[in-house]
């Protein structure tokens, strides 16, 4: 696919995510009803076995997928790095252990006539009711519902926003990015749930913070 045919560049940072989860995420992008996209997979220093699996899968779908291996610096820096390789007018993000519904990209793209950057709600998959809640960025001892958060991988917007702002290495980097963007651009929180967010996966940053809450109580 040449550059003129790419509308959306999707970025996915991967760090030792089990291949079956990463493949699920990749396949959900490949199955979008909007097909003029590219998916750039940023291997953030994963183990070599996983890297080889990802590379082989990208080779099978090389018209849509690009595999880039970088030194481990965390999701924020991986996405910042990935922005430099994008060819689309718009940028979307997906976490390696989540997935898109088939209409995610097209639904977000429709909103670009009203905003420069959007975030959206999610269909959140949990094991327990309290998994709907994550530590408040202002006070880690308090929890807030995920619907009240700006979630990293639901961000969708014009490339210029991502090039201008960039993500910081910090908890709630997504919220910080959104707030910084709001000072310069038109931002909007969408009332759609086309992103499937798996909160039943252990080992996430928010899961670790909640464990720390329990230990401190």
- Percent of the chain with pLDDT strictly greater than 70: 91
* CA-atom Rg of the chain in angstroms: 17
pTM, 2 dp: 0.91
pLDDT (tens digit, 9 = 90+) per residue, 47-106?
999 999 999 999 999 999 999 999 999 999 999 999 999 999 999 999 999 999 999 999
How far is residue 187's CA from residue 142's CA, in Å, rounded to a whole number?
26
151-165 mean pLDDT: 97
Written as one string, the DSSP assignment of 105-121 is HHHHHHGGGT-SEEEEE
| Joined tokens for residue 70 | 């970088």
Separation between Cα atoms, residue 126 and residue 131, nearest integer Å: 6
pLDDT of the residue at 4: 57
Please, what is the average pLDDT of the chain?
Answer: 91
| pLDDT reported for residue 134 | 85
- Contact between 123 and 81 under an 8 Å Cβ cutoff? The reply is no
Residue 36: partners with Cβ closer than 8 Å, 6 or more residues away = 1, 5, 6, 7, 8
Domains of the chain: residue spans and CATH: 3-216 (3.90.550.10)
């Amino acid at each position: 696919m040449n550059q003129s045919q790419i509308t959306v560049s999707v970025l996915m940072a991967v760090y030792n995510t089990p291949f079956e989860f990463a493949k699920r995420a990749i396949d959900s992008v490949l199955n979008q009803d909007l097909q003029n996209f590219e998916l750039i997979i940023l291997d953030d220093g994963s183990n070599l076995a996983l890297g080889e699996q990802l590379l082989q899968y990208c080779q099978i779908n090389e018209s849509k997928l690009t595999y880039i291996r970088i030194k481990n610096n965390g999701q924020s820096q991986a996405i910042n790095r990935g922005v430099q390789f994008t060819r689309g007018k718009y940028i979307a993000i997906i976490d390696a252990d989540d997935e898109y519904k088939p209409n995610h990209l097209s639904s977000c793209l429709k909103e670009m006539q009203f905003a420069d950057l959007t975030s959206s709600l999610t269909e959140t998959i949990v094991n327990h009711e309290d998994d709907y809640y994550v530590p408040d960025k202002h006070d880690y001892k308090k929890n807030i519902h995920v619907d009240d958060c700006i979630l990293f991988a639901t961000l969708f917007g014009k490339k210029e926003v991502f090039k201008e702002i960039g993500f910081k290495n910090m908890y709630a980097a997504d919220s910080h990015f959104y707030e910084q963007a709001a000072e310069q651009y038109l931002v909007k929180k969408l009332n759609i749930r086309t992103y499937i967010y798996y909160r039943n996966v252990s080992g996430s940053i928010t899961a670790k913070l909640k464990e720390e809450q329990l230990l401190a109580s």
